[in-house]
Structure 1
Amino acid sequence: MDPTAPELIYPAWPAPTGVCAVSTTRHGGISASPFHSLNLGLHTGDDPEAVHHNRHLLRHHLALPQDPCWLEQKHGIHVVEAGQYQTPPAADAVVAFAPGPACVVMTADCLPVLFCDSAGSRVGAAHAGWRGLANGVLEATVQALDCPPGELLAWLGPCIGADAFEVGDEVRQTFLQQAPATRQAFVPSPTGRWLADLQQLARHRLTACGVARITAEPACTFRDRHRFYSYRRDGRCGRMASLIWLAGSGISPPRDARRGTGPSPD
C-alpha cells in the first residue's frame, strides 16, 4: 500500500448517483511533523511545497481534471460559485451547478457541511465554525444553492465533539439570543464554562431553514489524534479537506464505500 495515498472518509448519506463526496484524514501525503502527513492547508506554517504536493496527490487520487476550488476561509458567510475565479477568494462556502471543479472546505475542528439536491443537479460545501454558524453561513449556502430547501440533503462531517468543545458564556448567549431552543446544544463544563455541540447547532440552523434530510459523521477531531488534526488540541497543526463534486469531473466512489469510512478507491 502506498503510504502517501490519501485515507478518505465517504459520507454515509443517501446522495443520488452522480454526487461524489469525500473527507480526508491526516493520513497520506508527505508533510513532516507536526503536520504529518496529509496537510492541505497553506496557511499553517508547513512547507508550501509539501502542501502543494499533498494537494496534487489528492487531486490525482480522485482523478479530478482540475484543482478543487480552494478558498481563503475567514469564518464568514460569503458564498462563491465554483469555477468562477482564478485565485482562492475570501469565502467560507462554495457551490456548483454542473460537473467541473470540486467544491472544498478545510477544517481542523470546525464543522464541514456538504450539500446536494435530490436530483443530483447541484452541490455545495460550507465551513462552519461557531462564528460562521451564528452569522448564518449555512443559511447563505442554502440560499446560494437556489432550490427548495426541502430538496436538499446535508452531511455534517468530522468536527470537534460535544464533550470536547469548551466555550464561554458569550458564545452560548449569541446562539440563545437568536434561538432559545439551542440551549439544548450546551451543557455545563466542570470548569464553569460550557460544552457546545457544533453538529446539534448546525442541525438546528438547517432544520429552521427547511433542510430536513441531515446525516452526521460521529468522529471527533479532538479525541481522535490518530486520524485527525485538531487546532484546539495541538495549536500548530494541518488541515483536512471535505470535497463534493458532480460526476463527470472525477471518479465516482464505489457504492459500498459511500456507506462510511472505508478504503480509498483505486
Structure 2
Amino acid sequence: MLQALDLGPGVRAALSTRLGGVSAAGYASLNLGDHVGDRPEAVAENRARVAAALGRPVQYLKQVHGVQVAAVAYAGPAPEADAAWTAQPGVALSVLVADCLPVLLVARRPDGQAVAVAAAHAGWRGLAGGVLEQSAAALRAQAADAHLHAWLGPCIGPDAFEVGEDVLRGFGREPGAAGPGFRYQPRADGSPRWRADLHALARQRLALLGVEVLGAEPSCTVSAPSRFFSFRRDGAGSGRFGAFIGLS
C-alpha cells in the first residue's frame, strides 16, 4: 500500500500509489482525495488504511495551488494551504497529487537530529509562486543552523507536460530564452509550446535555497497508469495519491 522512503534517522516518510484501497472505477483503488467525486465512505476507508500503515493520524490540506504554509501540531480539520510543517512527533503531514510535484523536506541540526519536517504541493503555480521558499523559511525558523534536505516525488514528466507562454512568464522566463527546465517543442501547426520539467525547476529553486536533494521518484504519473493517478491522463475523474512525512 505504502512505499517507505528513506529520509534519514528520526523521520518516517512514505509514498502511496493507487493500489491497496477500496475505491472503484476511475478512482480504483487507493484514492485519498475527498473532493474528486469518489464515494465519501470509500475515501474514509482508504485514509484509515493509510493512517494505520503509518501508525499515526494524518493531517490533510485543502490545496489551492498557492504558497500558504500551515503549522501543524496535531491532526485536525484541513487548513487551506499547499504546504505544512511540524516539529511535533506523532502526526504525519500529507500532500495529495495527480500530476503536481510532492516535495518532502527535513530540517536537521548540525549533529544530525531531525527537528522539523514539511510537505509541499508544488504544481507549476506553487513552484513559480514560492511554495518551496516559504516551506524552507518555515523550517529554518525552527532552527537557524539547520541543514535542509528534500525528496521529490513522482509528477507529470517533461515529455507529457506541454505548456504555453503563461507558464514561462510565471517563472520569469521569456519565450525567446526559456532556459533550463523548459524545452521548446511547437505543435504541428507551428503554435509555440514548451515542455516543462517540474523536477528540474524544483531542483533549481532548492539549490538556490541551499537545500540538498536526497532522492527522487522519477516516474511520470501520466505514463504510469497502474501506479499513479493522473489528472492530465484521466481528467476530472482522477483520484489522488499522497506523500507523507513525520518525525519518528
- TM-score w.r.t. structure 1 length? 0.84
Q: Where does residue 176 of structure 1 map in the other structure?
A: 172
Alignment deviations for residues 151-174 of structure 1 (CA, whole Å, 9 cap, x no partner): 010000011111111111121122
Paired letter, 2:245? I
Contact persistence 1:31–1:39 (CA under 8 A): yes
Secondary structure of 2:166's aligned partner: helix
Contact persistence 1:182–1:201 (CA under 8 A): no
Paired letter, 1:160? I
**How far apart, CA to CA, are the structure 2 residues paired with 1:133 and 1:150?**
22
Contact persistence 2:59–2:74 (CA under 8 A): no
Q: 2:20 aligns with which of 25, 28, 31?
A: 28
Q: Where does residue 246 of structure 2 map in the other structure?
A: 245
Q: How far has the Cα of 1:139 moved from its partner?
A: 0.2
RMSD: 2.0
Paired letter, 2:125? R
Identity %: 47
Q: Any unmatched runs of 5+ in structure 1?
A: 1-5, 248-266
Contact persistence 2:162–2:194 (CA under 8 A): yes
Q: Cα 1:222–1:148, aligned 2, differ >3 Å: closer, same or farther?
A: farther
**How far apart, CA to CA, are the structure 1 residues paired with 2:158 and 2:233?**
14
Q: Where does residue 137 of structure 2 map in the other structure?
A: 143
More strand by share: 2
Contact persistence 1:156–1:215 (CA under 8 A): yes
**How far apart, CA to CA, are the structure 2 residues paired with 1:18 and 1:86?**
23
Q: 1:50 aligns with which of 26, 37, 42?
A: 42
**How far apart, CA to CA, are the structure 2 residues paired with 1:156 and 1:101?**
21
Aligned pairs for 1:99-110 within 5 A: 99-110=89-100
**Structure 1 residue 80 and structure 2 residue 70: aligned?**
yes
Paired letter, 2:50? L
**Structure 1 residue 10 and structure 2 residue 11: aligned?**
no
Q: How far has the Cα of 1:182 moved from its partner?
A: 6.6
- TM-score w.r.t. structure 2 length? 0.89
Structure with more contact order per residue of length (Cα contacts < 8 Å, sep ≥ 6): 1
**How far apart, CA to CA, are the structure 1 residues paired with 2:26 and 2:195?**
27
Contact persistence 1:30–1:38 (CA under 8 A): yes
Secondary structure of 1:31's aligned partner: coil
